[in-house]
Amino acid sequence: MHGKAASLHDGPLRLFHLSDIHFGLEDRRALDWAKACIEREKPHAVAITGDLTMRARHPEFRAACAWITALDVPVTVEVGNHDIPYFNLYERFFAPYKRFKAIERLVESQLDLPNLAIVPLRTTTRAQYQRFPWSNGWVTDHALDQTLAAIDALPAGTRVLVAAHHPLTERRADGKLLTINGTRTMEVLAGRKVLGILSGHVHDPFDLTEQTPAGPLRMIGAGTLSLRIRSTPPSFNEIIIAGDSVQVKARNLEKVPTPAMQIDAVPENALPPRQPQEPVAPVATVPPVDPPVH
Ligand SMILES: [Fe+2]
Ligand SMILES: [Fe+2]
């Protein structure tokens, strides 16, 4: 049933937005719980906004693909910076998605639900001449054109959510470059009146509205289901769409309320905050050190 539309109905749509599972460093307890929620509650769709693996290794992909293909709901999967082979440069440049073989029809696939489309936007690149390492986002002109073409091909009046791995924030408050071409992309998507953009990468949830010259843009981030937590326990987003209203709940096993889970500024990456001024959610479950990856 992957990739197919849910049955037609007029009621609210419910999505589960998962991100940064990072097989290789997955939180098994959180992952089992998320899977049980999906099986029991049967959301209309699941959007997974990238970083399926920790090091893009074959066993990590096998585990990720097995977990995802067992989900009996429509699924779309974005590609994260951790999912591009890092050590095998031939694969990185010439066959970066080869290891997604078992779920290739779900990768960057558009989901068409009743009067709602989830449209992918690629933010991960094989190389970035502007900087190294290449872990942050870059919306290339080609990637943006593809997303806009998909949106413009939808029947008039279709509601749109865009799914990407990196938040689109282009610069941190201190000017550091985050997602290249993010500002322009946000403005163009706001001009298309999308309901919001779903992303991952920073491992803390957020629900922010950015003002652009073309109008407001809702930016919805999901936390992680891995052990590599930043400042909040593992979580996923439940998103309810009714008409043009979008409600976001950051669900977690610890039952921490959503406002205490969400950060109010987009950090640079998923690393636990080390400086006092770095954005931290109120719950602030900051690990002393990152868990080792074996
Ligand atoms: Fe991640
Ligand atoms: Fe990432």
- Delimit the domains of the chain by residue range: 13-261
Mean pLDDT of 114-131: 84
Q: Residue 20 CA: which ligand is closest?
A: 1
User: Under 8 Å CB-to-CB from 232, ≥6 apart: which residues?
Assistant: 203, 204, 205, 223, 250, 252, 256, 261, 281, 283, 285
Confidence bin at 92 (pLDDT 50/70/90): low
Q: Determine the distance separating the centroid of ligand 2 and the alpha carbon of 200, expressed in angstroms.
A: 7
Q: Which of 288, 266, 285, 262 is nearest to 207 (CA)?
A: 262
Residue 106: per-residue pLDDT: 85
Q: Determine the distance separating the centroid of ligand 1 and the alpha carbon of 270, expressed in angstroms.
A: 6
**How would CATH label the architecture of 13-261?**
4-Layer Sandwich (3.60)
Beta strand segments in the chain, E: 13-18, 45-48, 75-77, 111-113, 116-120, 159-163, 196-199, 206-212, 215-221, 236-242, 245-251
Q: Determine the distance separating the centroid of ligand 1 and the alpha carbon of 155, expressed in angstroms.
A: 34
CB 161 within 8 A of CB 192: no
User: Under 8 Å CB-to-CB from 256, ≥6 apart: which residues?
Assistant: 232, 233, 250, 283
CB 51 within 8 A of CB 252: no
**In terms of pLDDT, which residue wins out, 208 or 276?**
208
β-partners of residue 120 are 163
Residue 117: per-residue pLDDT: 97
Q: Determine the distance separating the centroid of ligand 1 and the alpha carbon of 289, expressed in angstroms.
A: 16
Q: How far apart are the first and last CA of the chain?
A: 34
What is the β-pairing status of strands 206-212 and 215-221? antiparallel
CB 281 within 8 A of CB 262: yes
DSSP 163: E
Interatomic CA distance for residues 221 and 17, integer angstroms: 9
Q: Report pTM.
A: 0.92
Query: What average pLDDT does the structure give for the chain?
Result: 90
Q: Residue 80 CA: which ligand is closest?
A: 2
Q: Determine the distance separating the centroid of ligand 1 and the alpha carbon of 203, expressed in angstroms.
A: 6
Residue 294: per-residue pLDDT: 60
Q: Which of 73, 91, 75 is nearest to 83 (CA)?
A: 91
What is the β-pairing status of strands 159-163 and 196-199? parallel
Residue 93: per-residue pLDDT: 63
Confidence bin at 89 (pLDDT 50/70/90): low
CB 292 within 8 A of CB 240: no
